[in-house]
Amino acid sequence: MATDAQQACFEAGIKFGSLYHQFAGTPVSPSSTRSLEAAMAEAIENQPFCESVSVAIHDDRVADAIDHENGYTELTGSLMDVEMRIAYEGVTVRTRMTMRDGYPLMELVGVDDEADGTPGSGTTN
Amino acid sequence: MATDAQQACFEAGIKFGSLYHQFAGTPVSPSSTRSLEAAMAEAIENQPFCESVSVAIHDDRVADAIDHENGYTELTGSLMDVEMRIAYEGVTVRTRMTMRDGYPLMELVGVDDEADGTPGSGTTN
Amino acid sequence: MATDAQQACFEAGIKFGSLYHQFAGTPVSPSSTRSLEAAMAEAIENQPFCESVSVAIHDDRVADAIDHENGYTELTGSLMDVEMRIAYEGVTVRTRMTMRDGYPLMELVGVDDEADGTPGSGTTN
Amino acid sequence: MATDAQQACFEAGIKFGSLYHQFAGTPVSPSSTRSLEAAMAEAIENQPFCESVSVAIHDDRVADAIDHENGYTELTGSLMDVEMRIAYEGVTVRTRMTMRDGYPLMELVGVDDEADGTPGSGTTN
């Protein structure tokens, strides 16, 4: 059977894939970044075991991506940073999406299992 | 060639299809309806010729659609009302989505062509 | 009231917005273009008044858009051409999406109203 | 640091969330199920570490979900079964989505870590 930590990581991945593929492609401009950030975070926080989501869409990157004539672009991973915390049966998983070599990478930041009795064990920072 | 009024109706349809298929499936609960409404409206208002969008997600319908164990549901047309106003070359198109016989229907409410010299001509109400 | 031709154009727009925002963001590589084209066309042909949809995803553009390490990219308007024919109450609307000045543009190609008694009237080609 | 098995489970979750939120809401009828199944599987198989995806959309459930007048419905989790196999650094993760108490549940079926030297260890069946 899968361990609680493995299950927690599976749940964390589900949230990341959901967030990305639900909202990628959304029309966005510097005037609509705040409402989109809030909606993305609150939508995914509805999902089971999801403790917190923070989404930061960078206005300057959005502005740079806009073709003059249209005044907006479509949301992609390169325009935002995302952090999430998932909690499952005493295991807390922290994840983030950031740019790495020009490519938006979803990654596990830390897996903390209370049952280990070692606070912070299993984390990368 | 298509008339300005036909072009305006085409643009109105694009916005409606975009809004629906971008956001349908988003996890939603009564605690996240306001941020989702705002994000949907502001996102689609970015698109060309789109003057205004209003989205009303009904908290009571969301609550009714929620399976107890999970605490959220997925956004569908039956949970919301949408109104939009599109303006293209002097033609204003008003559209809405509402429930009709249990099915969410996108419909043209009015097509006002300033060039007609008849304010309000071509509208249904 | 909206004319049949205006209503037909509205319906055509809905299909285009639906197709774009349902499928934009889908992971795609040269080995999966054919199945995605077929699914997109058949899915949208389900919608009311939609007579035919053809989707051509350009393998060479997909290959060019791929970052070596990953082997796939995400579907955007710049990778494909789309043509649709909508029929509503005797009015046939032809639409397409193609690249124009580096930007994917959805446009009305022709609006043929049988009631006009002028086959082909109202079309651009 | 996360273990390879945890990382593999995270990757498995990403694929599941991606598949679901990319394709939920797609118009579907019994005549378009095969093309949609193929496109979904091939699209997600493009993603890193994803060895195989199988999607079975049940024609009878689709038919039951269709409102007579329209002839199609929108894809939801209740209409399909999905199985995936993810491979990451010697760890193979098997996952599936099936109906459980009327709700589509994504679940880990097995986590096989070659490094354990116990073929099949860590699996539920």
What is the pLDDT averaged over residues A63-78? Answer: 89
pLDDT of D17 reads 97
Give the C-alpha distances (Å, rounded to integers) separating D124 from C33, D13, D50, D86: 36, 17, 20, 16
Given its phi and psi angles, is residue C21 left (phi above 0), alpha (psi -120 to 50 degrees) or beta?
Answer: alpha
What would the DSSP string read from start to end of chain B? ---HHHHHHHHHHHHHHHHHHHHTT-EE-TTTHHHHHHHHHHHHHTSTTEEEEEEEE-HHHHHHH--TTTS-EE--GGGEEEEEEEEETTEEEEEEEEEETTEEEEEEEEEEEGGGS-TTTTB--
Alpha-carbon gap, residue C58 to C77, rounded angstroms: 11
Which element (helix H / strand E) includes C36? helix C33-45
Alpha-carbon gap, residue B34 to B37, rounded angstroms: 5
Residues 41-70 of chain A with CB under 8 A from chain B are 42-48, 70
Contact assignment for A32 to B25 by CB distance below 8 Å: no
Split at pLDDT 50, 70, 90, the class of D118 is low
Render pLDDT for A89-113 as a digit per residue (tens, 0 to 9).
999 999 999 888 777 899 999 999 9
Contact assignment for A38 to B42 by CB distance below 8 Å: no
Alpha-carbon gap, residue A50 to A63, rounded angstroms: 31
Q: Report the mean per-residue pLDDT for chain A.
A: 91
Contact assignment for A36 to B44 by CB distance below 8 Å: no
Q: B57 is written with which tokens?
A: 């997600």
Alpha-carbon gap, residue B8 to B27, rounded angstroms: 32
Question: Which residues face D103 on adjacent strands?
Answer: D100
pLDDT of D123 reads 41
- In eight-state DSSP terms, residue D47 is S
Residues 80-119 of chain C with CB under 8 A from chain D are none
**Pick among D11, D18, D113, D121 to test the A interface (most A CBs inside 10 A):** D18
Q: Which residue has the tokens 């589509």?
A: D104
Q: D72 is written with which tokens?
A: 């199609």
In this model, does residue A43 exceed pLDDT 90? yes
pLDDT of A104 reads 83
In this model, does residue B121 exceed pLDDT 50? no
Alpha-carbon gap, residue D80 to D89, rounded angstroms: 30
pLDDT of A122 reads 43
pLDDT of B56 reads 97
| Minimum-distance CB partner of B14 among C16, C22, C123 | C16
Which element (helix H / strand E) includes A86? strand A80-88
If one compares B66 and D119, the residue with the highest pLDDT of the two is B66
Check if the beta carbon of residue C32 is closer than 8 Å to that of residue D43. Answer: yes
Split at pLDDT 50, 70, 90, the class of C115 is confident
**Pick among A19, A31, A32, A79 to test the B interface (most B CBs inside 10 A):** A32
Q: C98 is written with which tokens?
A: 């193609």
Classify the C-alpha dihedral B25-B29-B35-B37 as positive or negative: positive
Amino acid present at A83: E
In this model, does residue A9 exceed pLDDT 70? yes
In this model, does residue C124 exceed pLDDT 70? no
Contact assignment for C42 to D35 by CB distance below 8 Å: yes
Alpha-carbon gap, residue D91 to D14, rounded angstroms: 16
pLDDT of D122 reads 43
| Minimum-distance CB partner of C6 among B21, B22, B108 | B108
State the binding site of B for substrate. 11, 106
Q: C25 is written with which tokens?
A: 């963001």
Render pLDDT for A53-70 as a digit per residue (tens, 0 to 9).
999 999 999 999 997 677
B4-116, what's its fold? Pantoate--beta-alanine Ligase; Chain: A,domain 2 (3.30.1300)
* Chain D residues close to C29, C-beta within 8 Å: 46
Contact assignment for D15 to A13 by CB distance below 8 Å: yes
| Interface contacts (B, C; CB < 8 Å) | 96
Split at pLDDT 50, 70, 90, the class of A121 is very low
